Amino acid sequence: MEDKLILAIESSCDETSAAVLLGAKVLSNEVVTQLQHAQYGGVVPEIASRAHQTMITAVVQAALKTAGRELRDLDVIAVTQGPGLMGSLLVGISFAKSLSLALEIPLVGVNHMQAHILAHFADDCENKPSFPFLNLTVSGGHTQLVVVHSPTRMEVVGETIDDAGGEAFDKAAKVLGLDYPGGPLLDKMAQTGDAKKFSFPIPKVEGLNFSFSGLKTSLLYFLRDNQKLNQNFIEEERANLCASFQHTVVTYLLRQIQRGLTSTKTNQIAICGGVSANSELRKQLTEYGVNNGVEVFIPQFKYCTDNAAMIGIAAHYLMEANKISDLKMVPLSRYPL
Ligand code: KG4
Ligand code: ZN
């Protein structure tokens, strides 16, 4: 099949993004992150959908301009169908439907979690995994171990029973006095700290599932107890606390990866989602691969957090499998793989 010119739109949470792709070749990938949520310490759904409405036209225009293409050049419109915030998804989907109708071109609805994984197949990713492979997705809303059989057939073999990994980073960052979203800030602060200074218990969950709520609570109790002895404990130890907490989360993620590789008899591990931007995870996983003869696939930073390029790549594969949507498509706040 000849490569199609795809306009992809992502608006599932707090990033408004549009990308233009020729097949899996990314010609542009514009991402606007809504900073207005920082003052509330988390994403406010109503504010998010309004901000998408305000930004979406300009973001799509920017993506077309960067790619040097016009609306009339497009062959396909791809859009995130879910999972995500209902109001936010609705903005992207309504916009995509209007374009599909006006330009008389097909519409492809994309599963956001599949798209995170398929970001590994962007044309500018040097090494691409081969099927089947194991993938760890860790984002603000999900933590999943997935066996990826093909671009359109994926099987969840482990997932979080409470908080997501990104949420654990964000909540820890909040109690440590960092701004929202705390994950990247905690990562940065950890770089000047001693990861061995404090130790937190690795969650005890059987099999390939994950749990982060106990870890969060143990950090809270640890801070409370130490603040009784020294009011300035967090301020004085912030970098060491960040490094130690991050070390615990990463050690835990690696243990689950190791279990996953053993039980699925795979020797390829890919990671994706916002937390795959974490420097400690990238470092430890790379070392783990070298020491254990496991092939490791880590996305470029631009494909870790939410972006429309990954939606376009997923749409490219969906079209190859003839999975096209129509104007009856509805947003899905939950959308299993
Ligand atoms: O995939 P993503 O952009 O959005 C969702 O679909 O959730 O992931 C966002 C999550 C947030 O929790 C954010 O704090 C976390 O990814 N994150 C990080 C880092 N960069 C983003 N967590 C730890 N270290 C980072 N460097
Ligand atoms: Zn995401």
| 147 CB-near residues (< 8 Å, 6+ apart) | 132, 133, 134, 135, 154, 155, 157, 264, 266
pLDDT digits (tens, 9 = 90+) for 27-75: 999 999 999 998 888 899 999 999 999 999 999 999 999 999 999 999 9
- How far, in Å, is the centroid of ligand 2 from the Cα of 139? 6
How confident is the model at residue 41, as a pLDDT? Answer: 85
CATH superfamily entry for domain 5-119+305-320: ATPase, nucleotide binding domain (3.30.420.40)
pLDDT digits (tens, 9 = 90+) for 200-211: 999 999 899 999
How confident is the model at residue 48, as a pLDDT? Answer: 97
Average pLDDT over residues 258-270: 97
- How far, in Å, is the centroid of ligand 2 from the Cα of 306? 5
Starting from the CA of residue 43, give the closest ligand. Answer: 1
Average pLDDT over residues 14-39: 96
- pLDDT > 90? residue 234: yes
- How far, in Å, is the centroid of ligand 1 from the Cα of 139? 5
Residue 173 Cα: closest atom of ligand 1: 14
Residue with the nearest Cα to atom 20 of ligand 1?
184
Residue 273 Cα: closest atom of ligand 1: 1
Rounded CA separation 135/268 (Å) = 8
pLDDT digits (tens, 9 = 90+) for 146-193: 999 999 999 999 999 999 999 999 999 999 999 988 999 999 999 999
Starting from the CA of residue 310, give the closest ligand. Answer: 2
Closest CA to 122 of 237, 254, 6: 6
pLDDT band at 324; cut points 50, 70, 90: very high
Our mutation pick for probing the ligand 1 site, out of 138, 169, 281, counting the most ligand atoms within 8 A of Cβ, is 169
| All structural domains of the chain with their residue ranges | 5-119+305-320, 128-298
Residue 170 Cα: closest atom of ligand 1: 14
Using CB distances shorter than 6 Å, the residues near ligand 1 are 13, 139-141, 166, 169-170, 181-184, 187, 273-275, 277-278, 305-306
Please say whether the beta carbons of 160 and 168 come within 8 A.
no
- How far, in Å, is the centroid of ligand 2 from the Cα of 157? 19
| 322 CB-near residues (< 8 Å, 6+ apart) | none
Determine the residue type at 36.
Q
- How far, in Å, is the centroid of ligand 1 from the Cα of 278? 8
User: Average pLDDT, whole number, for the chain?
Assistant: 97
- pLDDT > 80? residue 1: no
Question: How crowded is residue 97: how many other Cβ atoms within 10 Å of its Cβ?
Answer: 18
Average pLDDT over residues 92-98: 98
Starting from the CA of residue 187, give the closest ligand. Answer: 1
- Across the beta sheet with 295-297, the strand order is 153-159, 143-150, 133-138, 268-272, 295-297
| 157 CB-near residues (< 8 Å, 6+ apart) | 145, 146, 147, 208, 260, 263, 264
pTM metric for this prediction: 0.96
Determine the residue type at 172.
A
Residue with tokens 């440590």: 176
Rounded CA separation 41/237 (Å) = 22
pLDDT over 90 for what percent of the chain?
96
pLDDT digits (tens, 9 = 90+) for 273-310: 999 999 999 999 999 999 999 999 999 999 999 999 99
- How far, in Å, is the centroid of ligand 1 from the Cα of 261? 24
Just give the CATH number of 128-298. 3.30.420.40
Closest CA to 279 of 178, 183, 211: 183
How confident is the model at residue 178, as a pLDDT? Answer: 95
Phi, psi values for residue 184, rounded to 5°: -65, -35
- pLDDT > 90? residue 2: no
- Do the two domains 5-119+305-320 and 128-298 of this chain adopt the same fold? yes
- How far, in Å, is the centroid of ligand 2 from the Cα of 304? 8
**5 forms bridges with which residues in the sheet?**
22
Residue 165 Cα: closest atom of ligand 1: 12
| 314 CB-near residues (< 8 Å, 6+ apart) | 78, 110, 111, 114, 115, 118, 151
Q: Which two tokens stand for residue 244?
A: 């130690």
Residue with the nearest Cα to atom 2 of ligand 1?
274
Helix 86-103 / helix 45-67 crossing angle, nearest 10 deg = 40
